Amino acid sequence: MKLPNIVLLGTGGTIASTANSATALTDYEVTQGVEALLDAVPEIAALANIRCHQLFNVESHAITTKMLLKLARRINDELADPYVDGVVVTHGTDTLEETAYFLNLTVKSDKPVVIVGAMRPGSALSADGPLNLYNAVLLAGKTQAAGHGVLVMLNDQIASARFISKCSTTQVDAFRAYDQGYIGQVHSGRVHIFQTPALRHTTRTDFNMAGVKSLPRVDVIYDHQNAGVHFYEASIKAGANGIVIAATGNGSLSPQVRKGVKLALKNKLVCVIASRVGSGIVSASDAEGQTGLISSGSLNPQKARILLMLALHQSSDREKIQACFDQY
Ligand code: ASP
């Protein structure tokens, strides 16, 4: 049987980390390259022909927009090669959903792209990385994984990059898509896909990052009781082009944040209201529409930031940006 040709790109994270004892589950460092991760799972050789490349080797909270652009370019170059059937990216779980959503909007191919991480370092008892990596390569080599946008593979669950979010700081079952669910499962070496995301992704987006070197600056500001305007002032001063507000409930803004947002709008920043709640939809009320705010819909603040950077790269027109939030 002809094996699929998969490119494995390493970026670091817990999956590439080791601690100094098998029972240390939180105190560890990135120590391993992607080739070492592959060597640790010889069973993968029976699934695919693999070509590895270490793009960077960092914890995912150190990932920058420049690195995202580099990763998207590399994946697009690899997938343009007719020899390559799919790409797997190893990544830290802390910001995995941001990278996965960025790629979901900027990869220009229907071939499978699977992002994989682990919650336990490679040195841990019951490390989850090896099986997650095995499942990710299995998934990336299947034609049934094509055309669903970027996929996230952890803990035997297949998720859409659009909907998945890290919801536990330490549990192995850390990722959830509360409202939309998983799109499938891998079980005993078999891929089961149950549904496909209806929102626009990959080849169906208007975002083309070829030749793009930087993106507009977008900050996320959290709302809470007794909030102040100072973060808005600082953001304006730092030259941000947009702000995502992690608002309370269904996008409600505290009195001081209303002032901060007004100031930001006056300074021509684009403001998106997302919710700090973690699930549900932020509906754009008439009042918000009139004051020029944008609703993130079902995107959480960190993903709304990714979309706002891409949208602002194309236009600062409020209606066009709201249309991006409605479609992507
Ligand atoms: N600190 C890690 C990271 O790089 C966490 C993880 O990968 O699980 O995001």
Q: Note the pLDDT tens digit of each residue in 252-265.
A: 999 999 999 999 99
Q: Note the pLDDT tens digit of each residue in 35-73.
A: 999 999 999 999 999 999 999 999 999 999 999 999 999
Asked if pLDDT for residue 10 goes beyond 70, the answer is yes
> Are 231 and 292 within one domain?
yes
The pLDDT of residue 288: 64
The pLDDT of residue 1: 82
Percentage above 90 pLDDT, the chain: 97
- To test the pocket of ligand 1, the residue of 11, 14, 166 to mutate (highest count of ligand atoms within 8 Å of its CB) is 14
- Residue 52 CA, ligand 1 centroid: distance in Å: 20
Asked if pLDDT for residue 286 goes beyond 70, the answer is no
> Are 72 and 162 within one domain?
yes
Residue 291 banded pLDDT, cuts 50, 70, 90: confident
Beta bridge partners of 248: 252
Asked if pLDDT for residue 285 goes beyond 80, the answer is no
Look at residues 312, 287, 288, 284 and name the one whose alpha carbon lies nearest to residue 296.
Answer: 284
Tell me phi and psi for residue 253, to 5 degrees: -110, 135
Find the catalytic residue in 11, 14, 106, 202: 14
The pLDDT of residue 290: 67
> Are 79 and 126 within one domain?
yes
Q: Which atom of ligand 1 is nearest to the CA of 94?
A: 9
The pLDDT of residue 255: 95
Instruction: Write out residues with Cβ below 6 Å of ligand 1.
Output: 13-14, 59-61, 92-94, 117, 119
Asked if pLDDT for residue 283 goes beyond 80, the answer is yes
Tell me whether residue 211 is in a domain.
no
Cα separation, 221 vs 209, in Å, equals: 26
Asked if pLDDT for residue 18 goes beyond 70, the answer is yes
Look at residues 156, 131, 126, 312 and name the one whose alpha carbon lies nearest to residue 219.
Answer: 312
> Are 117 and 61 within one domain?
yes
> Are 36 and 76 within one domain?
yes
The pLDDT of residue 289: 65
- Residue 94 CA, ligand 1 centroid: distance in Å: 5
> Are 143 and 190 within one domain?
yes
Which residue, judged by its Cα, is nearest atom 7 of ligand 1?
A: 92
How far does the chain reach from its first CA to its final CA, in angstroms?
38
- To test the pocket of ligand 1, the residue of 57, 58, 93 to mutate (highest count of ligand atoms within 8 Å of its CB) is 93
Q: Which two tokens stand for residue 222?
A: 């959290």
Q: Note the pLDDT tens digit of each residue in 108-162.
A: 999 999 999 999 999 999 999 999 999 999 999 999 999 999 999 999 999 999 9
The pLDDT of residue 296: 96
Cα separation, 187 vs 158, in Å, equals: 11
Which amino acid is located at 37 in the chain?
L
Q: What is the mean pLDDT of residues 265-274?
A: 97
Q: Note the pLDDT tens digit of each residue in 193-249.
A: 999 999 999 999 999 999 999 999 999 999 999 999 999 999 999 999 999 999 999
> Are 199 and 225 within one domain?
no
Q: How many domains does the chain have?
A: 2
Establish whether 95 is a catalytic residue: no
Asked if pLDDT for residue 169 goes beyond 60, the answer is yes
Specify burial of residue 278 (Cβ count, 10 A radius: 0-12, 13-18, 19+): exposed
Q: Which domain holds residue 88?
A: 5-204
- Residue 129 CA, ligand 1 centroid: distance in Å: 12
How many Å separate Cα 100 from the centre of its chain? 3
Tell me whether residue 307 is in a domain.
yes
